Structure 1
Amino acid sequence: MFGLKTLDVGIGMALMFLFVSLICSAVREFGELATKTRASTLKAGIVEMLGSSRVEAFFEQPHISALYKGNYQGALVSSILSWIPFLGRTKLPSYIPSGNFAKAALQLIRSETTLASTAALAVSDVRAWTGPVPGDQKPEDDLRKAVRSILDSTGDDLNALQTGLEQWFNSTMDRVSGWYKSRTQIWLLVIGFVAAALMNIDAITVMQRLSTDDKLRDQVVAQAGSTIAECTKDPAQCGAPPKQGGTPDTLNTKLDNIKAATAQMTQVSWPIGWSGGYPDPQFKLLSSGPSDKNDAAAAYAAMTGWDQLLWWLGIIGGWLITAIGVTFGSSFWFDVLNRFMVVRSTIKPDEKSPKEKSKS
């Protein structure tokens, strides 16, 4: 039966994953600052939509150039510097509103027609532009296909065409966001594993200790309650995105999240960390007493090489589980923790702590 002890272990594991996720997501954001992969991924999506020959002209359009400093060539990075953090990052925008894209695309189309510079663009001009280019043996590009498809479905309406271009852009950006999220998941897995190894956060050992140590479990549940209260007041502390119209999330916020998470981890005696070059909580489990390091060292030395390898593989497996948990993100673990705490609050006092039997 699902009991309070099992629920408290789940609360402890969710809280641990929340703390580690906050640290790793903040590290990932620092990496994003150094490399600006959002901007380069967005540019790759624009190239796919418009073709490489139109990219510079697109980013030079007023509706797009207003979103970054300088000109297109100045925003690019030299291939020699591309691998160097900060120096090798693109200065192109990380986000383009769909309305800006549609207006810039229409201006691109206009520049490829034979209209005079002062003439207004009409739907008939766009229709003519979507036709085959005389003497052009190249395959038809995606922009022409998309515009023709939009005109065929909406009719000869320039406003409808702009709306269709916005929808095309949004649907493509959903796919581009998928590219970015996939890369982010991989980075979080790597960062999570490195963090778990450096801090020796072995999910298996943590769960074992929570299952057997009543004092630790009570401390963790109390900490979970205070964490829920703090994150409810300030959701950014638990990695929640800023509300619409609110103050944008900053790197200072991410740095504060790292400090807060590490401080929280030290408030409770979590079974993590290293001591004397050995993973401390796992090493202590080898001894007959909780703090007898000499006994643990003797037990470790008495193990065969194969047993020592299996022992380390078990620890590495725990680090990997921690890393996998990180990929779900801090918002996910905050939601799980919150649900667990709500369920716990509904348990009757008698179920939490059975009454003592009468001595009479």
Structure 2
Amino acid sequence: MLSVYVDLALGLVVAFLLLSLLVSGLNEAAVRVLAIRSKFLWAYLRDTMDGADKKTGSWLPASVLGVFRVLPFLRDPRPRHSELPSPSKPGEVPETRTGDSMIKLLYERVREIDHGKRGRTSIANIPPARFSVAVMELASAENDVPQFLAKLQKIDSPLYGHLKGVWESAQGDLDRFRQGVESWFDGEMQRLSMLYKRYVKWVVAVLGIAVTLLFSMDGFEYAKTLLRDNAYRASVTAVSGPEAYDALQQQCTGGDPVPCVTEVLSQPALVRMMGQAMVSVSIPAEGDPGFEWNGGAWWGRVSTPSHWPGFLLTYVALLFGAPFWWDVFRRITGIKSKR
């Protein structure tokens, strides 16, 4: 009896793991194609170093809809990619504000780690130590830190307030100032990562709904199918004598039980459930795989209220994510982590 529940748990975990991996893959593909991570970072840097745009406001919108609408399609905050190495002499902060002057100066100091992507930078992460060194290089171009801060104040850069507090805490010590800038930027990157994950959760939620409905994956129906297949296999292995054979023949609608047994044993419950998607894939014993439009049957399942609790179960399971289900699968099977 225990093996029945173990089979049921493994079947559900594997199904949720595969669908969660699909959700994660779709999310990662969209992030890479649209360069979301890089745009997120440089939008924050523009707000921090150059301030909000006078016409369009903040580069990193505050609302969820604003982020999804602006960053992927409408505005690209990333600097233009350059194949040239960083100049030997850091650029000086201009006397008057020129829009993205500070971003250009920062990019000059970090572009050795860059490679172009459709004419824009692909840098999605700047180590805090590298950022603090870049700030020190820009300060050296202005002869000293107080003069550098005065230039930032003159161009009305939001970075002035942050660095001024760090400089006062360092009490004029350049090494402590560099370490303070590094610690401050590290904290900002952690805060930005938390903000990014908050937006990613919305994307995963939408993709989870799409994948659940696309495959019309009813979690309750799948669990019942697993239990039914397990009981059927048990009855097959228990066949001994004509009476048991007659009972098996009745389960196969009165026909020859051999094709019925072959179909159940060769088509696991997961394969049958995945075959109820909008576009089903069939892999015959001989020949090439085939694709079949399954729109009518798919819509019948989606529009049937009795399937909705099962869809809800699958959707909630996908929100836990692939790492969670992999950990559950590893614990059930006894697979040990290499770490």
Partner residue in 2 for 1:56: 103
Instruction: Give the equivalent residue in structure 1 for 2:333.
Output: 341
Alignment of 1:187-266 (within 5 A): 187-214=203-230
Call closer, same or farther: CA 1:17–1:49 in 2, change over 3 Å. same
Question: In structure 1, how many angstroms separate the alpha carbons of the residues matched to 2:209 and 2:334?
Answer: 30
Cα distance in 2 for partners of 1:217, 1:158 equals 75
SS in 2 for 1:272: helix
1:55 CA drift (Å): 4.5
Q: Tell me: CA distance 1:176–1:275, structure 2 relative to 1, closer, same or farther (3 Å).
A: closer
Partner deviation per Cα, 1:92-121 (whole Å, 9 max, x = no partner): 31121222211222334445x4x3xxxxxx
- The alpha carbon displacement at 1:276 in A equals 10
The 8 Å contact of residues 222 and 269 in structure 2, kept in 1 or not, is answered as no
Q: Is the 8 A contact 1:151 1:161 kept in 2?
A: yes
Does 161-170 or 315-324 show the bigger shift?
315-324
Structure 2 residue runs of 5 or longer lacking an equivalent are 52-99, 235-265, 281-296
Alignment of structure 1 residues 129-140 onto 2, 5 Å:
129-130=148-149
Describe the SS at the equivalent of 1:66. helix
Q: Residue 33 of structure 1 aligns with which residue?
A: 32
Cα shift at 1:18 = 0.9
After TM superposition, give the deviation of residue 50 of structure 1 in Å: 1.7
With over 3 angstroms needed to count, the CA separation of the structure-2 counterparts of 1:201 and 1:158, relative to structure 1, is same
Range with bigger deviation, 190-199 or 316-325: 316-325
Question: Which amino acid letter does the alignment assign opposite residue 127 of structure 1?
Answer: P
1:14-42 per-position Cα deviation (integer Å, ceiling 9, x unaligned):
22111111122122222122101000111
Match of 1:330 among 307, 311, 322: 322
Aligned partner (choices 122, 129, 134) of residue 104 of structure 1: 134
Could you tell me whether the CA contact under 8 Å between 1:193 and 1:322 is conserved in 2? no
Partner Cα distance (1:169, 1:269) in 2: 51
Return the alpha-carbon distance in structure 2 between the equivalents of residues 49 and 336 of structure 1.
Answer: 42
In the TM superposition, residue 181 of structure 1 has moved relative to its aligned partner by: 1.6
> In the alignment, is residue 312 of structure 1 matched against residue 331 of structure 2?
no
- Match of 1:293? none
Q: Counterparts of 1:115-126 in structure 2 under 5 Å?
A: 115=143, 125-126=144-145
CA distance in 2, matches of 1:217, 1:24: 32
Amino acid at match of 1:272: M
* Cα distance change of structure 1 residues 99 and 309 upon mapping to structure 2, 3 Å threshold: closer
CA distance in 2, matches of 1:276, 1:329: 21
- Structure 1 residue 215: Cα displacement: 5.2
1:130/1:183 CA distance change after superposition, 3 Å: same
User: Which string of whole-angstrom CA distances, capped at 9 and with x for unpartnered residues, describes residues 287-328 of structure 1?
Assistant: xxxxxxxxxxxxx9xxxxxxx999723424433432332233
Q: Deviations over 1:165-194 (max 9, x none)?
A: 122112111121122222222222222222
Q: Answer 1 or 2: higher relative contact order, Cα 8 Å, separation at least 6.
A: 1
TM-score by length of 1: 0.54
Letter in 2 for 1:185: K
Shift of 1:268: 3.0
TM-score with structure 2 setting the length: 0.57
**Kept in 2: contact 1:38–1:94 (CA 8 A):** yes
C-alpha displacement at 1:335, in angstroms?
0.7
Contact 1:206–1:272 (Cα < 8 Å) also in 2: yes
Closer/same/farther in 2, CA of residues 129 and 59 from structure 1, 3 Å limit:
closer
51 and 211 in structure 1: CA distance in 2 versus 1, 3 angstrom threshold: farther
- Whether the 8 Å CA contact 2:20–2:322 is kept in 1: the answer is yes
Q: Which runs of 5+ in 1 are unaligned?
A: 76-90, 116-124, 219-265, 280-299, 301-307, 344-360
Which deviates more from structure 2 when the two are superposed, residues 96-105 or residues 209-218? 209-218
Percent identity for Structure 1 against Structure 2 = 22
8 Å contact kept, 1:46–1:55? no
The residue number in structure 2 matching 1:249 is none
